Amino acid sequence: MTLNVTLNDFDFVLFGGSGDLAMRKLLPALFSRELAGNFPDSARIICVGRNDWTQEDFFREIDKNAKIHINKNAPAAAPWKVFLNRIIYVRLDADNPASYQALITAVRSDEAITRVYYLATPPGLFSKICNNLAESGLVNKNSRVVLEKPLGRDLASAKKINAEVGRVFSESQIFRIDHYLGKETVQNLLALRFGNVLFEPLWRREWISDVQITIAEDLGVGNRMGYYDTSGALRDMLQNHLLQLLCIVAMEPPTSIAPDAVRDAKLQVLRSLRRFTPTALAQDVIRGQYRAGYIEGVAVPGYRDEAGADPHSRTESFVALKTEIDTWRWAGVPFYLRTGKRMPDRLAEIVVRFKPIPHSIFTQASSSFQPNCLVIRLQPDEGLTLHLMAKTPGDSMRLKPVELEMDFLETFRAPRMEAYERLLLDVLRGQLTLFMRGDELEAAWDWVEPILHHWEHNESDPIPYTAGTWGPPAASALIGRDGLQWREEVLPQS
Ligand code: BG6
């Protein structure tokens, strides 16, 4: 996508500048925006790390670890050189106030220049970094801070982060990243719902039977066991990415696309989610953990056999749950959320199923009619499929399900923009709509916390599922109890 973006001159300071996220996602995303010509000539990227490296050492790291993640095959020499010319490596010990002198020297003092502090660090450092920045005189009215997940591990820790960062930065300077909000399809969902009149009248309990949101990954935990085993699927994916998708699907029409209009609407959804009772916790939440299996014919180890794993770990790599939104619009409509690692495919989709037609005028058995269904795909490709009934050609009045398909890339024939590219641009231009507000973050933790407590006090293990399957059978039973099926269960087998 070619965006006509005019950015103010900036110093982009990346804490965790030599870390995995910087190399895999952030530097490649910044380079893509370089290629698109979005950056003012004098803009700088200041990468902060603990290693005692020279500028050349750091360039070697980028060459080794970031270049391979750049989308466009080998980056052309000229823009790559321009990009490297912007980068300054600064060695700094985030804990030590004295070492911020190096950063004072690296950033420009002109207050008109946008200054971004991107904290791609463990959350334990957020407060120290913010305080040290403030005490070193490095925070001005044109400064912003970007916080990467995990943004807490429960309500109390999320509140603590909000309070500590909030002592230094005002809410309008805080960008809490959920990279799912940067995905093209999520914004297209806003366009679909609020740029057309077709859907909004139907987008309610009278016409919608149920909504499924799935984020499935074929990958396992990989080399992130240290982090993941203390987190699990509920904290890693559901509390943030899935709930944000749910908010965009279910929110009331905001009055505008302005940050607080959208975030107020999302907050209302989070606050209307039905609280789990002890019975609902036992019945409506399923946690699973993968065992050895096959993905596309390749044998993969079980969770407890992954490198660095605790052989008795009870961390869930899968979670499925059913919830409801207690509002006039959604009362009685079940929302099923599901995410897991080592599932058969990498797939992220939202499935909105409509009710059956109220009365059939056809002689054909109405049981052969499929209710309309809208599938909004985020991954692997980005698009929409609307399932309709249509007459088959010929002299008899026979109806069959057909699919109206739209592929966003094909339709617009525009280059794809990675979620981080979009979000980094939004940070640089001060656009907060696609970032979580502090009260949203707390409302999301508040809602998942009973599940966390329930699991903590429950001695049972997560239910095992074989790698390469769609999770434990209990997840099918969860939705089956309501006479429904997950979408892949009703698809014809290829
Ligand atoms: C991250 C999680 O937030 O999202 C990872 O920490 C997960 O565990 C990743 O793999 C999935 O993101 P995407 O964009 O690849 O679907």
453 Cα to the center of ligand 1, angstroms: 24
Mark whether 116 and 255 lie in a shared domain.
no
pLDDT at 493: 54
Domain annotation covers residue 302: yes
**Does the beta carbon of 421 sit less than 6 angstroms from any atom of ligand 1?**
no
Identify the CATH number of the domain in which residue 91 sits: 3.40.50.720
Mean pLDDT of 261-269: 98
CA angle 192, 196, 200 (to 5 degrees): 80
Q: For 449-476, how does the pLDDT look when each residue is reduced to its tens digit (9 = 90+)?
A: 999 999 999 888 999 999 999 999 999 9
Binned at pLDDT 50, 70 and 90, residue 2 comes out as very low
Q: String of b and e for 150-184 (b: at least 16 CB within 10 Å)?
A: bbbbbbeebbebbeebeebbeeebbbbbbbbbbbb
Q: Count of domains in the chain?
A: 2
Instruction: State if residue 217 touches ligand 1 by the CB under 6 angstroms criterion.
Output: yes
Same domain, 143 and 190: no
In this predicted model, what pLDDT tens digit does every residue of 101-125 receive, in sequence order?
Answer: 999 999 999 999 999 999 999 999 9
Does 56 score more than 70 pLDDT? yes
For 364, the 3-state DSSP assignment is: coil
Q: Cβ(418) to ligand 1 under 6 A? A: no
Residues 80-92 have a mean pLDDT of: 95
Same domain, 110 and 198: no
Same structural domain, 227 and 114: no
Tell me the per-residue pLDDT of 273-320, one tens digit each, with 9 for 90 and over. Answer: 999 999 999 999 999 999 999 999 999 999 999 999 999 999 999 999
The whole-number average pLDDT for the span 61-90 is: 86
Length in residues, the chain: 494
Active-site pick, 179, 241, 359, 454: 241
pLDDT in tens, 337-386: 999 999 999 999 999 999 999 999 999 888 889 999 999 999 999 999 99
Is 161 within a domain? no
Do 121 and 192 sit in the same domain of this protein? no
C-alpha neighbours within 13 Å on the C-beta side of residue 201: 3
Residue-averaged pLDDT of the chain: 94
Q: Is residue 158 part of a domain?
A: no
Tokens standing for residue 43? 């803009």
203 and 144 co-located in one domain: no
Q: What is the pTM of this model?
A: 0.95
> Where is pLDDT greater, at 68 or 71?
68
Residue 6: which pLDDT band, with cuts at 50, 70 and 90?
confident
Nearest CA to 453 out of 222, 196, 275, 224 is that of: 275
Q: Is the shortest distance between the CB of 178 and ligand 1 below 6 Å? A: no
362 and 448 within one domain: yes
Q: Are residues 222 and 353 both part of a single domain?
A: yes
Q: Does 179 participate in catalysis according to the annotation? A: no
Q: Measure 346 CA to ligand 1 centroid, in angstroms.
A: 11
For residue 62, give its domain range.
10-148
Strand ordering across the sheet containing 285-291: 399-407, 383-391, 373-379, 347-354, 208-216, 335-340, 318-323, 285-291, 463-466
Is residue 3 over pLDDT 60?
A: no
* pLDDT-based confidence at residue 71 (cuts at 50, 70, 90): low
Burial call 365-395: b when 16+ CB within 10 Å, e when fewer = eeeebbebbbbbbbeeebbbbbbebeeeeee
Based on the fold, state whether residues 267 and 320 are members of the same structural domain: yes
Q: Is residue 174 part of a domain?
A: no
| End-to-end C-alpha distance for the chain, whole angstroms | 34
What tens digit of pLDDT does each residue of 171-227 get? 999 999 999 999 999 999 999 999 999 999 999 999 999 999 999 999 999 889 999
Amino acid identity at 93? D
Quick one: angle between helices 126-135 and 155-166, nearest 10? Answer: 10
Task: Give the model's pLDDT for residue 1.
Answer: 40
Assigned domain for 424 exists:
no
Residues 125 and 221 both lie in one domain: no
> Comparing C-alpha atoms, which of 63, 79, 87, 69 is closest to residue 28?
69
Q: Both 472 and 409 in a single domain? A: yes
Report the CATH number at residue 232. Answer: 3.30.360.10
Query: What confidence tier does 5 reach under pLDDT thresholds 50, 70, 90?
Result: confident
In a domain, 159, yes or no: no
Within-domain flag for 168: no
Residue 175 lies in a domain: no
The answer to whether residues 28 and 127 belong to one domain is yes
